[in-house]
Structure 1
Amino acid sequence: MERGRASSPDLSYLVIQGFPLDRNFCPDENIELSMKGRIRTKEVCPICGGDFKQTLHGLWCEKCKTKPNRYFIDLGKYRGKRIRIYSDTNGAPLDSYARAHRLLETIRHELDTGTFNPKDYIKRELRAFWFEERLNDWITVKEKEVEQGAIAPSYLRELKRYADRYLLSFFARTDDVREINEAKINLFLRSLPDHLSPKTRKNILMALRAFLSFLERDGWLSAIPRFPKVEVPEPSWSWIDEETQEMILRNMREKFIPIFFFMMRHGVRPGEAMALKWKDVDLEKETVVVRRTFSNRQLREWTKTRKIRILPLHSETVRWMKKQENRFPESFVFQRNEKGEPFYDRALRKEWVRATTPLGLDIRLYDGTRHSFASQAVNRGDSLNLVQKALGHTTASTTQRYAHVDVSALKKLIEPGEKVVPLEKKRKRKTKEEGNEGN
């Protein structure tokens, strides 16, 4: 061997010790590796959430002593395309580092002999069960359901967000959906970020369950694994009185006041107020028909509960409506500009924050309008049945959650104002003379 020329270190002893030899791993970073391809994984440590590092044992988390469940081979650029291989020629997934290493050695030999063909490593029968393949199919079905009006666009938006941010970040693209079991679902639940609320964690888990139910219905799964139960505490509802609402309205820009006043005094959802058209208004009878809503900027010809309800109009709203010009049947009642375009949810929320922040109020738009409408009605003594009809709830139990009895109302029950017997007798105060007589 020539002097001054560095030779590649002999790592064959690793094979003797039982460790698979990855020629890409070398303790000396200055040595250029001639062999193509690396063994990698998309997973992270299920305990600490850190990346798996290349060690003499393969991919490994030194801190938690864990290893990935799935691997893939990254060949980098091959004939101008990025090549990643997730299974062998029989379609078997790379479920161990040793299997991945053996396949990498085979591929390197094929590259040297010019016989390598990436298509040999994708088995169509197995690909049909890939997690990403089936998930994309499910999302496509949900998109069609939105077009048919079966589900709301906002619900589809949440499903896509859960899929991209949580499902695909945990389940590998080539995971076989048939291998999803109770243990893996529990591991997925524990992998969710700690900052998520219990309700959000439950919603994400229910999205996964809905996906697996879809697979079972279409015959991809024989049964759905058992899901863990996520306890969600009762929400702490908040509401404000009419006086506080008036303070908020005075703090708003003029074009926003009519639609917010309408939501506050009629208990409609923001999407229902935005979707209101002049053909729904009867100024002679002073009534309005709530029949449609906006969801994710898409106009839907039905409400959330698919129920049409007729509401009486507040006298101040009637006065404002009669002053409006160009009341064409298909025009929106509440318009954000001269073009007649409707308000959108984001603009309403921004204006709500803009008006409530200077007042020191920390309350959501929904709670400050619709929920406050219901709470105020109950505190005035209105029946839950009337409140249910106004809100358009399908069940009385839903209305019950919105009903809060004011403490001042309870005070009248406890202390209606009549005279009561004192709990302690008043003692007569002794005079100075009476005290001296006692001595």
Structure 2
Amino acid sequence: MRGSIYSNQKCSVCNGSFLYYERKGGLFCPEHQDQRANSLFYVKFGREINKRFKTFESAERFLIGVRYEVDRNTFDPRDYKTKAPLGFKNLSEQWLILKKNEVKPSSYRSLRRFIFAAVDTWGNKNIKEIGYAEIEDFLYAQPVSDKTKSNIKSCLHSFWVWLRKRKIITIQQFPEFPEVKYRLGTRKIIDKETQQAIIEEVKKLSFDLNPKIWLGIKWLSTYISIRPGELVKMKEKDVNPRTGIFTVCHTKENREKYVPMLDADIKILDSLPIGLPDLSFFRHVQGVSGVAAGKPFGEKYFYKWWKKACDNLGIEGVDLYGGTRHSSVTALRKVCSPEQIKIGTMHSTNKAFDRYFQPGMDDALDVYKHTQDAPQVHHHSSAPKTAKLLKLKQ
């Protein structure tokens, strides 16, 4: 299969078709060699390619390029389809449709935002023409933090993995991705006494209005495997004092978690009215300005009351996550092993757990203690007789 160049133009003498003569560099009438085509060119290459050109030179360059790809065994007819089946925009839209049913709405919104930013840069460019350089230039042109750039890179990497699994590209066509380094911000933590003081202040401020405000914040400091976003989405059926189990459905890991309750919390639950199974457990009651009774707490509602309690106590810079979950994990170091704490946090990876526990700190502390027991350095006047001094030349 070598393809050829054709023209819709006809010979002005015999009205015959022109033929492509490679050595003569043009299209000529077989019967009248002085008659040459000068317009309406197109290239046919097998059944896959039928492409029009304004000039013979551009048509010939195209044909030579396609033949070169065939010789190198890199020819892919999809590269030349007018509907761009390998276009980044077309394929990424297909990928987003699948992802919409696989991930949480908040995660989907992030993926969609990242992909749209890439479409603004690459448009419908052939995915095989997007490599390391294009990805690196795109990432570092984004006016976002290094952590967000890393998230964008992960999104694009996931997209290309999907392309490979769908056999849209081969493993040899899978691009190399640049490394994006970042440092996660740290949260301020507090000791247990300060934590309990804040929780008691929350109770003082909110208990008469709605005891579940205090209860939710108390649980965040106790059940360190439950995140604030997971807790606020629990329904009545997920908080079951009869079984003594929390069922956490909306997890970051997309899998259910079952968290055992303490007896003290079971007693508290027994004292509260029970709602219908599908009602949000953390919901507003009557008397809250601007909010209808029964409406679920917003994601930042616990933080609002935590912040109010901190302000009353003059405590600054401690967010809800750091003051509850992070601070409780840190305090547990004194009474539990790392393995026990990891069971409690229910982290699925060591990397995520290490952010909380910071392994090696106890070993470092032991080293620092030994520095107090190290032999003292003697001054020259009281140096031992066996000491050896190193004399340096002037």
State TM-score, norm by structure 2: 0.60
Matched, 1:260 2:211: no
Given that 1:278 and 1:332 are in contact with CA atoms closer than 8 Å, whether structure 2 keeps it comes out as yes
Distance 1:214 1:156 in 2: 16
Distance 1:368 1:90 in 2: 66
State which of 257, 260, 276 in structure 1 corresponds to 2:234.
276
Matched, 1:344 2:302: no
Given that 1:198 and 1:232 are in contact with CA atoms closer than 8 Å, whether structure 2 keeps it comes out as yes
The residue number in structure 2 matching 1:391 is: 345
Matched, 1:289 2:246: yes
CA shift at 1:159, angstroms?
A: 0.6
CA shift at 1:142, angstroms?
A: 0.5
Matched, 1:160 2:115: no
Given that 2:160 and 2:174 are in contact with CA atoms closer than 8 Å, whether structure 1 keeps it comes out as yes
SS state at 1:325 partner: coil
CA displacement 1:267-286 (0-9 Å, x = unmatched) = 1111331233444445367x
Distance 2:299 2:52 in 1: 48
The residue number in structure 1 matching 2:86 is: 129
Letter in 1 for 2:105: P
The residue number in structure 2 matching 1:369 is: 324
State which of 320, 333, 339 in structure 1 corresponds to 2:281.
333
The residue number in structure 2 matching 1:308 is: 257
Given that 2:246 and 2:260 are in contact with CA atoms closer than 8 Å, whether structure 1 keeps it comes out as yes
Q: Show structure 2 runs of 5+ residues with no match.
A: 1-49, 59-79, 287-292, 379-394
CA shift at 1:412, angstroms?
A: 9.4
Q: For residues 353 and 126 of structure 1, do their structure 2 counterparts lie closer, same or farther at Cα, with a shift above 3 Å needed? A: farther
CA shift at 1:414, angstroms?
A: 6.8
CA displacement 1:120-145 (0-9 Å, x = unmatched) = xxx96343333222221111111122
CA shift at 1:323, angstroms?
A: 2.4
Distance 1:288 1:399 in 2: 23
Q: For residues 132 and 322 of structure 1, do their structure 2 counterparts lie closer, same or farther at Cα, with a shift above 3 Å needed? A: same
Q: For residues 335 and 174 of structure 1, do their structure 2 counterparts lie closer, same or farther at Cα, with a shift above 3 Å needed? A: same
Given that 2:188 and 2:317 are in contact with CA atoms closer than 8 Å, whether structure 1 keeps it comes out as no
Given that 2:239 and 2:245 are in contact with CA atoms closer than 8 Å, whether structure 1 keeps it comes out as yes
Say what the alpha-carbon RMSD is for the aligned residues: 3.9
Given that 2:236 and 2:274 are in contact with CA atoms closer than 8 Å, whether structure 1 keeps it comes out as no
SS state at 1:345 partner: coil
Distance 1:322 1:203 in 2: 43
Distance 1:248 1:335 in 2: 22
The residue number in structure 2 matching 1:215 is: 163
Q: Show structure 1 runs of 5+ residues with no match.
A: 1-88, 93-98, 100-122, 146-150, 294-301, 426-439
State TM-score, norm by structure 1: 0.55
State which of 195, 198, 201 in structure 2 corresponds to 1:248.
198
Distance 1:407 1:209 in 2: 35
Distance 2:326 2:140 in 1: 34
CA displacement 1:168-193 (0-9 Å, x = unmatched) = 3322x332323212221121122122
CA shift at 1:304, angstroms?
A: 2.5
CA displacement 1:8-30 (0-9 Å, x = unmatched) = xxxxxxxxxxxxxxxxxxxxxxx
Give the 5 Å matches for 1:68-107: 90=51
How many residues are matched?
Answer: 286
Letter in 1 for 2:233: A
Distance 1:381 1:135 in 2: 50
Give the 5 Å matches for 1:200-239: 200-222=148-170, 223-233=173-183, 236-239=186-189
Distance 2:165 2:345 in 1: 35
